């Protein structure tokens, strides 16, 4: 009952403050500039220098000359209420820069993501369509589409689904970090396996903020996909938002320790707890997940960083 109330309060507050939309649904999109907000989307390239370069989405091709063709490119998408300056973004960017083996791009659509939930949710298609056009133009200008990976958290994960549905090439890999759930039902448009050659999804708060169904080629459910260790507090709202954020924290850790999160194939966490899946296939969760992985995987994590338990995480400990 309390959990339901917390969810209602959190999103109810957003729904009653919906702004007057300037977003044009994509069944009538004819240009990237369907609104001032879409025009104001920014694309950043992070190099580790003090000055990082950003351009408006309509000038995305200007960044192609700054991309090292010898490295794969990752494009990260922040979640609702976030921006390129948010902790989640800076943590992911820092982890990639530490590896020094990727071109690191970040999409900042904070002018839209900062709106009330219903407005931001309804705008994901427009954002995705706009970015799809920009990526097509970047590929035409020389970006290697075969090494492009998209990674996104929450609402950003759902934006990636619309990109995959609209680009004129096939995205090699999409990683969805606890894709946003409210409004994205299993029968409606949402991030799904067909949006890229390989789609990996990590579920950490499937009860309220994230989707509660399998949607990728492979779906990982650390600690059952909700109520993450270390997130238990007297506040239901803090608990669910903390668990939601664990998805990007786990992924960031996997960038520095590729073997940190080992998971085992299992249809449910109940079976995992019972030890019924102990002889099943194991796969790595996170950055190093092979594109041959398929199905649902369970694992346990630690309550504090470092979160990964390696092989120990494939066996349930009460």
Active-site residues, by number, are 154, 178, 244
Report how far Cα 173 is from the mean position of its chain's Cα atoms.
12
In 97-109, which positions are buried (b, 16+ CB within 10 angstroms) versus exposed (e)? eeeeebbbbbbbb
Cα-Cα-Cα-Cα dihedral sign, residues 229, 235, 239, 245: negative
Give the span between the Cα atoms of 289 and 218, in whole angstroms.
9
Please give the helix or strand (H or E) that residue 220 lies within, else none.
Answer: strand 218-222
Strand spans (E) along 47-179: 53-56, 73-77, 103-108, 148-153, 173-177
The angle formed by the CA atoms of residues 70, 107 and 150, to the nearest 5 degrees, is 55
Q: What is the Cα–Cα distance from 138 to 61, expressed in whole angstroms?
A: 5
Give which of 312, 297, 47, 14 is closest to 183, Cα–Cα: 14
CA dist., res. 238 & res. 236, Å (int): 6
Q: Which of 81, 80, 74, 65 is nearest to 95 (CA)?
A: 74
């Amino acid at each position: 009952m309390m959990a339901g109330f917390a969810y209602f309060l959190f999103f109810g507050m957003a729904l009653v403050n919906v702004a007057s939309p300037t977003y044009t649904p994509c069944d009538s999109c004819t240009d990237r500039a369907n609104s001032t907000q879409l025009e104001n989307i920014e694309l950043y390239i992070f190099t580790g220098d003090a000055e990082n370069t950003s351009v408006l989405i309509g000038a995305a091709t200007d960044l192609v000359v700054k991309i090292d063709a010898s490295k794969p490119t990752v494009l990260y998408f922040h979640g609702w209420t976030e921006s390129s300056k948010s902790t989640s973004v800076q943590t992911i960017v820092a982890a990639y820069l530490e590896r020094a083996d990727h071109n690191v791009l970040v999409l900042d659509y904070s002018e839209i993501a900062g709106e009330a939930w219903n407005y931001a949710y309804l705008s994901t298609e427009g954002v995705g369509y706009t970015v799809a056009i920009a990526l097509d133009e970047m590929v035409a200008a020389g970006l290697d589409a075969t090494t492009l990976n998209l990674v996104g958290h929450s609402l950003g994960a759902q934006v990636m689904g619309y990109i995959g549905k609209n680009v004129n090439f096939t995205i090699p890999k999409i990683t969805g970090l606890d894709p946003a759930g409210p409004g994205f039902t299993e029968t409606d448009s949402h991030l799904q396996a067909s949006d890229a050659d390989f789609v990996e999804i990590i579920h950490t708060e499937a009860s309220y903020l994230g989707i509660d169904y399998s949607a990728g080629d492979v779906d990982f459910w650390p600690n059952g996909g909700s109520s993450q260790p270390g997130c238990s507090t007297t506040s239901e709202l803090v608990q669910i938002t903390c668990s939601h954020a664990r998805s990007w924290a786990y992924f960031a850790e996997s960038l520095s320790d590729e073997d940190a999160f080992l998971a085992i194939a299992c249809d449910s966490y109940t079976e995992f707890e019972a030890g019924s899946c102990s002889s099943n296939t194991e796969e790595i969760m996170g950055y190093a997940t092979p594109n041959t992985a398929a199905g649902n995987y369970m694992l346990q994590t630690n309550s504090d960083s470092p979160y990964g338990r390696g092989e120990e995480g494939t066996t349930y400990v009460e």
